[in-house]
Structure 1
Amino acid sequence: MFAQLVDGIFWNIALWVFGIGVLWRILSIFRVRNKVDYSVPRGSGLAGAIGANLRRFIPRREMISRTRLQVVAGYLFHLGLFALLVFAAPHVLFIEAQTGLNWTPMPYWAFIVSAQLAFIGLMLLWFHRVMHPVTRLISDADDHIAAILTFVVMLTGCMALIEGFDGLRVLHRFMVELWLVYFPFSRLMHAFMFIPSRAFTGAWFGRRGVKA
């Protein structure tokens, strides 16, 4: 009974909440009206927006010495998680069943490596958050819930590889559904917001001739 709910109505509800929530958050930002800038432009806002997005993928040299742990852990987690989401064989098969799209999944050894990198990166980021006095002070419940929920989703996903026990697959999918419902109302939205945020900052400075 629970498995049928997870594979059926719970999944549909989670997708609708995720889709509508993400769209609402994005539209609410783009609907905010900015004051008209009457100053004479000293550069291209478009070039500034594009440049800011490209340059921010590489940390500034001045910041690396002070944020080396966050930079390395951030790349480990995000690249590992991206590889798992897009190229893990169970996910590729699931996407093909839902949409008809298909591509070559990564081999099992690559899945193990990606999972380990993602776990290491996420745990390092969370440990730094709770142990460093500054990040601990500025963190709230949302930061911890998002990290723990993401960790549980990844953990149950690895457990679900034991294909002989369908309960693990159902548990993983249920945790994914909780994650999808929580996503639009949390800081997990940075997955969609970081590009327009960088673009806005880059355009603002680019128009003024400043390389952001």
Structure 2
Amino acid sequence: MNEIQLLTWARGDGLDYAVGIFLLGVIWRLFEIYSLGRKTDLSAPRSAAGASGWHTIFRRSLPPAGMVKKSPVSYIGGYTFHIGLAIVVFLFAPHILLIQSLTGMSWPGLPSQFIDLAAVVTMAAMVVVLADRINKP
């Protein structure tokens, strides 16, 4: 198999297999979640129900008080990695074209040099966090 055949397979059958496995995993996970059931909601309804949900999501995305001072490499490196990964996955023009071909949704991408910089910073953050976790299990 040469490079062109591999690329053709990756864009065709390989992508179909990957999306199929992903969807099966999502369906399986949703089945597990919904089969657990829900407890009865006994709390009083709030006036702005959506706002309190968004507040909870934002609050739980922040590290607990004092943890950044205790383990700065894990938290700063983790945030750097996840933000960089989101930039590379969602703002790189070839990825946007792939998403557009699958869903029809499109948005403007960032310049390739910026994506390269974000990828290097992301990989460096991963290496630093890995080294920190190996040294401090």
TM-score, reference length from structure 1: 0.52
Query: Is 2:106 the counterpart of 1:108?
Result: no
Q: What is the aligned partner in structure 2 of residue 67 from structure 1?
A: 71
Identity of aligned residues (%): 26
Structure 2 unaligned runs (5+)?
none
- The residue type paired with residue 108 of structure 1 is S
Contact kept in structure 2, 1:76 and 1:120, CA below 8 Å? no
Distance 1:89 1:117 in 2: 19
- Quick one: which of 63, 81, 88 aligns to 1:84? 88
- The residue type paired with residue 122 of structure 1 is M
Q: What is the aligned partner in structure 2 of residue 154 from structure 1?
A: none
* SS at structure 2 position matched to 1:106: coil
Distance 2:44 2:132 in 1: 41
Shift of 1:48: 5.9
Q: What is the aligned partner in structure 1 of residue 101 from structure 2?
A: 97
Structure 1 unaligned runs (5+)?
134-212
Distance 2:40 2:105 in 1: 44
Distance 1:31 1:117 in 2: 41
* SS at structure 2 position matched to 1:59: coil
Distance 1:111 1:96 in 2: 19
What value does the CA root-mean-square deviation take over the aligned residues? 2.5
Which stretch of structure 1 is more off in the superposition, 123-132 or 17-26?
123-132
Shift of 1:36: 4.7
Query: Is 2:26 the counterpart of 1:19?
Result: no
Shift in alpha-carbon separation, 1:96–1:50, aligned structure 2, 3 A: closer
Q: What is the aligned partner in structure 2 of residue 58 from structure 1?
A: 62
- The residue type paired with residue 128 of structure 2 is L
- Could you give the per-residue CA deviations for residues 80-128 of structure 1, whole angstroms, max 9, x where no partner exists? 0000001112212323334433221101221122112211221122222
In the comparison of the two structures, how many residue pairs are matched? Answer: 130
